């Protein structure tokens, strides 16, 4: 009897133990299945689209602030160098900002007169340009046929002259928003330079761990070095290009040679699109100045080859491969930011790409052993 009862008790305990195991397994949280990659990329894509729409909608605010931050980083690094001469970084930054604003106003004043003259004479210039260009275009049979189907060259010239007025009206309508954005840029630049050190400390202290703070310091130092080196070196190179362009315009018989040099300097900060715009502008000016085709083409051809030599020989030799970004990515960035923010976006396309590349390199190629940035 004892053996039978003991056996019964053992069986009952075994069944209770199995029941407890089953209940424990049932209450155990199930392991989540891996997230679908398609769902992940869909969420990322929607986020990118939403962010792009927000950046596009807030152009009037974000564009001058982004421009001010980039210029402020460059001027701030230059102000740190002035500290060696006993000038505090805040005063050095404000002093450099003052010279930058004075230079910007001088540039605007230098461009205001010629641009006003061109705007006033736009219909006459368009008509004269067509009279100069049409004889060259008629040498191509297919263009001659196209002009004939379009009711002749008079209709084409009339269409250009009629559209010159609305185009100038659209440009004039954009002057008021540009003035507001300029004021936002100047205020953001001054305030950024005043609070740059405090903002840097806030970003560093936002990371709780020591490694995070060291990474933040390293990334910010790399960004400042990259932007300062690029703008300082590129400015000197493009200043030399502007001087050569002025000489080309002077020898080529074009009007106001210093203005051509100034245009070449500013447009060189827009990769690909800048040289294209300058070459076409010099070509049009040459056609309006000279009757002989060879003399008309000479300024544009000379500028193109000088710019080509500088971009492919001098710039890589001075800047090295550190700033070598894939040309296709640069082109896509220019198209994207031009669509987003217009001409200023085209200027900011390469600096923004440089910032993204620097952050990516610092994150991916982080040193295995954390140490204080040198």
Separation between Cα atoms, residue 28 and residue 324, nearest integer Å: 54
Q: What is the pLDDT of residue 49?
A: 85
DSSP annotation of 139: T
DSSP string, 298-366: HHHHHHHHHHHHIIIIIHHHHHGGGG---HHHHHHHHHHHHHHHHHHHHHHHHHHHHHHHHHHHHHHT-
What is the sign of the dihedral through the CA atoms of 179, 183, 184 and 189?
positive
Q: For residue 191, how far is the Cα from the chain centroid?
A: 22
pLDDT interval class at 138 (50, 70, 90) = low
Backbone angles phi, psi at 91, to 5 degrees: -70, -35
Is the confidence at residue 132, as pLDDT, over 70? no
DSSP string, 238-262: HHHHHHHHHHHHHHTT-S-HHHHHH
Q: What is the pLDDT of residue 152?
A: 47
Is the confidence at residue 351, as pLDDT, over 50? yes
Q: What is the pLDDT of residue 303?
A: 92
pLDDT digits (tens, 9 = 90+) for 215-244: 888 888 888 888 888 888 888 888 999 999
Tell me what percent of the residues of the chain surpass a pLDDT of 90.
4
Which among 216, 204, 213, 200 is positioned nearest to 77, based on CA atoms? 200
Q: What three-state secondary structure class fits 291? A: coil
pLDDT digits (tens, 9 = 90+) for 142-173: 455 555 555 544 554 554 545 555 554 554 44
Q: What is the pLDDT of residue 151?
A: 53
Separation between Cα atoms, residue 245 and residue 302, nearest integer Å: 9
Is the confidence at residue 341, as pLDDT, over 80? yes
Is the confidence at residue 111, as pLDDT, over 80? no
Tell me what percent of the residues of the chain surpass a pLDDT of 70.
67
**Long-range contacts of 101-110, Cβ-Cβ distance < 8 Å, separation of 24 or more:** 101/186, 107/262, 107/266, 110/259, 110/262
Least confident of 19-28, 141-150, 293-302, 327-336: 141-150
Q: What is the mean pLDDT of residues 289-312?
A: 84
Q: What is the pLDDT of residue 245?
A: 92
pLDDT digits (tens, 9 = 90+) for 13-44: 667 666 666 665 665 555 555 556 777 778 88
Q: What is the pLDDT of residue 120?
A: 65
Q: For the beta carbon of residue 184, count every other beta carbon within 10 angstroms.
A: 18
Mean pLDDT of all residues belonging to the chain? 76
Q: What is the pLDDT of residue 255?
A: 79
Q: What is the pLDDT of residue 353?
A: 87
């Amino acid at each position: 009897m004892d053996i039978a009862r003991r056996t019964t008790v053992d069986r009952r305990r075994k069944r209770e133990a199995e029941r407890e195991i089953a209940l424990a397994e049932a209450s155990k949280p199930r392991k989540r299945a891996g997230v679908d990659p398609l769902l992940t990329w869909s969420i990322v894509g929607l986020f990118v689209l939403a962010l792009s729409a927000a950046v596009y909608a807030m152009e009037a605010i974000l564009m001058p602030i982004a421009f001010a931050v980039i210029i402020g980083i460059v001027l701030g690094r230059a102000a740190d160098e002035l500290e060696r001469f006993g000038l505090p970084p805040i005063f050095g930054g404000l002093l450099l900002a003052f010279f930058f604003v004075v230079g910007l106003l001088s540039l605007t004043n230098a461009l205001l007169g010629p641009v006003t003259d061109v705007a006033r004479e736009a219909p006459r210039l368009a008509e004269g340009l067509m009279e100069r260009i049409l004889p060259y275009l008629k040498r191509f049979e297919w263009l001659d046929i196209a002009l004939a189907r379009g009711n002749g060259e008079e209709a084409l010239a009339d269409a250009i002259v009629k559209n010159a007025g609305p185009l100038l009206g659209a440009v004039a309508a954009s002057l008021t928003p540009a003035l507001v954005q300029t004021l936002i840029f100047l205020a953001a630049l001054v305030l950024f330079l005043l609070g740059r050190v405090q903002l840097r400390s806030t970003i560093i202290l936002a990371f709780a761990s020591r490694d995070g703070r060291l990474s933040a310091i390293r990334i910010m130092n790399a960004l400042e070095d990259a932007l300062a080196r690029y703008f300082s070196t590129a400015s000197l190179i493009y200043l030399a290009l502007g001087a050569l362009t002025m000489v080309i315009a002077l020898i080529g018989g074009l009007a106001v040679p210093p203005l051509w040099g100034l245009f070449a300097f500013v447009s060189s900060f827009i990769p690909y699109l800048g040289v294209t715009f300058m070459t076409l502008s010099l070509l049009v000016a040459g056609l309006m100045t000279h009757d002989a085709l060879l003399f008309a083409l000479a300024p544009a051809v000379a500028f193109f080859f000088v710019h080509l030599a500088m971009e492919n020989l001098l710039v890589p030799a001075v800047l090295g491969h550190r700033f070598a970004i894939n040309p296709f990515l640069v082109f896509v960035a220019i198209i994207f930011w031009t669509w987003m923010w217009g001409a200023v976006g085209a200027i900011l396309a390469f600096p923004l790409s440089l910032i993204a590349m620097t952050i990516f390199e610092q994150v991916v190629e982080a040193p295995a052993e954390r140490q204080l940035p040198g």
